[in-house]
Amino acid sequence: MVNPFPGKWFRSKAMRMNDVDDIQSGPSSSPKIIRRPPVSSSEASSKSLGLQEFTGSKVQNVNNSGERLDLFDELKRRFLSFKKHKYLEELEHFQTLKEAQSPKFMVIACADSRVCPSTILGFRPGEAFMIRNVANLVPPVESGPSETNAALEFAVKTLEVENILIIGHSCCGGIQTLMSMRDNGDSSFIKSWVTNGKIAKLRTEAAANHLNFDQQCRICEKESINHSLLNLLTYPWIKDRVRKGLLFVHGGYYDFLNCTFEKWTLDFKGSSVEERGRSLVRDQELWC
Amino acid sequence: MGSKSYEDAIAALSKLLRKNPDLYGALAKGQSPKFMVFACSDSRVCPSHILDLQPGEAFMVRNIANMVPPYDKTMYSGVGAAIEYAVLHLKVENIVVIGHSCCGGIKGLMSIPDDGTTASDFIEQWVSICAPAKTKVKSEYSGLSFSEQCTNCEKEAVNVSLGNLLTYPFVREAVLKNTLVLKGAHYDFVNGKFDLWNLNFQITPTLAV
């Protein structure tokens, strides 16, 4: 294991500061906030976290720590609102959840801030075990331990989910990096990771060389989902359950340019899902 | 998928577009979230629910027990890729690592026998990233029940992950320049609480002889 502090000149210590105060709520009283002025229920509708500053170009550096405190004050307000309007309203459901989770879905989605599956598909607490990584990639079993396959193992063997859904999306920065990278020896983390999608890139270039770069990226985003779906089947404990009809493997593509969602299911016939190099799919739908 | 879930999905998507069509136009051009969030894959703790995060606000990594491995280009490069993208390309201003109650990954870590024998292909190796948290909890809280030790480990593991974040040179640099802040958090869904804390660090001068 790499020495975390190679120069030994750097010490760090996490100190708990308890920025968010405990809420105490009695059985018949409204929640009280200790040590901070109470959150007014007539406060303006939620501030977005910096979205007013969005220019699409670059983010301003925060030199003013007061501005940063505002961000966390906003998160605090939202948590308290969640507690009041959702958690306490559905207390029985949350009490059940505290015992155990039994989600029917495992979802693999991109870390991109625009594509949270809870938002776009309305997954509620307890419904989807979720992995989010750059470009929603699933490496094959032969590439060794990864955060993704540790989560797969837990979801399939322990939680026994019935569905795995890989969701890709338009304008994916990871896929764009994959499509534009050259083998020039530059060994950034991003390039090492997106190389897991290399076969999808080769397929895209072979089939869509006549299209412009953006169009090729759109195609690669979908090819990469299919490639990751096939990589799922390299795990024996996944393939076995799919073969027995205990587990279904689906792809999903969220196009936020047009706000559409496409989904399909891998069609497992006998021992192979590929016919002449193409994945067999069924139940393909476009929601728009 | 049944027709009920199809209708729900349509309703969710339509609601998204109606809510703020200008926002979606802007987001199509790019993202500039102020937060990077590490959260557990657990189905009960999605930060979009508990913190009402909107599209565009938080670049979000979710893995078992919300762990950050130390800098290592050969192992677990997926996490490194996400941090690199968030800090160098998206230039996020805050990284928050959120642990939670009843974490199966932490319980798994605490349950690994002392002789180190493992029964899984990948899980136990992954959660061992936060073995220092387990060591600390077992020595400092040996009198507590297993369940209480797990709760403490959930929080100590967040601290280990925060420390591991600093092993990434681009994180360290941004923290030193005060363009990036690291915070730890713990969501307790048993009692409906959310703890948030800062990472404090000191730089001591190098001693050259």
Token pair, residue B175, equals: 């923290």
Residue A203 domain-assigned (yes or no): yes
Best to test chain A binding among B15, B24, B37, B46 (most A CBs inside 10 Å):
B46
Q: In chain B, what are the domain boundaries?
A: 31-198
- Asked if residue B60 has pLDDT above 60, the reply is yes
- Asked if residue B10 has pLDDT above 70, the reply is no
Report whether A220 belongs to an annotated binding site: no
Residue A54 domain-assigned (yes or no): no
CATH class in words for B31-198: alpha beta
Cα separation of A187 and A263, whole Å?
34
Both A113 and A243 in one domain: the answer is yes
Residue A36 domain-assigned (yes or no): no
Both A200 and A117 in one domain: the answer is yes
pLDDT of residue A36: 29
- Asked if residue A7 has pLDDT above 60, the reply is no
Residue A9 domain-assigned (yes or no): no
With pLDDT > 70 as the criterion, what percentage of chain B qualifies? 88
List pLDDT tens digits, range B95-109: 999 999 999 999 999
Residue A86 domain-assigned (yes or no): yes
What is the average pLDDT value for chain A, to the nearest integer? 77
With CB atoms and an 8 Å threshold, state whether B44 touches A188.
no
Give the minimum alpha-carbon distance from B195 to chain A in angstroms, rounded to a whole number: 6
With CB atoms and an 8 Å threshold, state whether A173 touches B85.
yes
Both A272 and A150 in one domain: the answer is yes
Both A92 and A217 in one domain: the answer is no
Cα separation of B180 and B190, whole Å?
31
| Of A99, A121, A152, the domain-final residue | A99
Best to test chain B binding among A52, A90, A113 (most B CBs inside 10 Å):
A113
**Are the CB atoms for A13 and B202 separated by under 8 Å?**
yes
Cα separation of B146 and B137, whole Å?
10
List pLDDT tens digits, range A115-156: 999 999 989 999 999 999 999 999 999 998 999 999 999 999
State the residue for tokens 């703020």. B20
Both A209 and A119 in one domain: the answer is yes
Question: Closest to A189 (Cβ–Cβ): which among B45, B73, B163?
Answer: B73
pLDDT of residue A259: 86
Residue A73 domain-assigned (yes or no): yes
State the residue for tokens 């190796």. B125
pLDDT of residue A81: 86
Both A283 and A172 in one domain: the answer is yes
pLDDT of residue A74: 83
pLDDT of residue B135: 96
| Of A49, A83, A99, the domain-final residue | A99
Report whether B102 belongs to an annotated binding site: no
Greater confidence (B47 vs B7) lies with B47
pLDDT of residue A96: 85
Both A85 and A179 in one domain: the answer is no
Both A138 and A88 in one domain: the answer is no
Angle, vertex CA A59, rays to CA B66 and CA B182, nearest 5: 30
Both A93 and A202 in one domain: the answer is no
- Is B168 strand, coil or helix? coil
- Parent domain of A82: 68-99
pLDDT band at B24 (very low <50, low <70, confident <90, very high): low
pLDDT of residue A47: 46
List pLDDT tens digits, range A32-76: 222 223 333 333 334 455 333 222 223 333 445 677 677 788 888
The residue of chain B with its CA nearest to that of A88 is: B192
DSSP letters, A18-65, are --SPPEE--SSS--EESSSPPPPTTSPSPPPSSGGG--SS-PPP---H
| Of A49, A82, A99, the domain-final residue | A99
Residue A26 domain-assigned (yes or no): no
Non-local (6+) Cβ contacts of B182 within 8 A are B94, B95, B96, B97, B162, B165, B166, B171, B175, B198, B199
Instruction: Pick the range with the lowest mean pLDDT from A10-14, A121-125, B64-68, B145-149.
Output: A10-14
Question: Which alpha helices (DSSP H) does B112-204 contain, by range?
Answer: 123-127, 131-140, 146-165, 169-176
Cα separation of A106 and A196, whole Å?
20
Cα separation of B134 and B140, whole Å?
10
**Are the CB atoms for A252 and A136 separated by under 8 Å?**
no
- pLDDT mean over B139-144: 94
Both A263 and A204 in one domain: the answer is yes
Give me the number of domains chain A comprises: 2
- pLDDT mean over B34-53: 95
The residue of chain B with its CA nearest to that of A192 is: B77
- pLDDT mean over B45-49: 94
Both A178 and A131 in one domain: the answer is yes
Residue A170 domain-assigned (yes or no): yes
Which CATH number goes with the domain that contains A125? 3.40.1050.10
pLDDT band at B209 (very low <50, low <70, confident <90, very high): confident
pLDDT of residue B17: 53
What is the average pLDDT value for chain B, to the nearest integer? 88
pLDDT band at B88 (very low <50, low <70, confident <90, very high): very high
Question: Which alpha helices (DSSP H) does chain B contain, by range?
Answer: 3-19, 21-29, 47-50, 77-84, 104-111, 123-127, 131-140, 146-165, 169-176
Both A92 and A137 in one domain: the answer is no
pLDDT band at A30 (very low <50, low <70, confident <90, very high): very low
Instruction: Pick the range with the lowest mean pLDDT from A266-280, B82-96, B125-139.
Output: A266-280
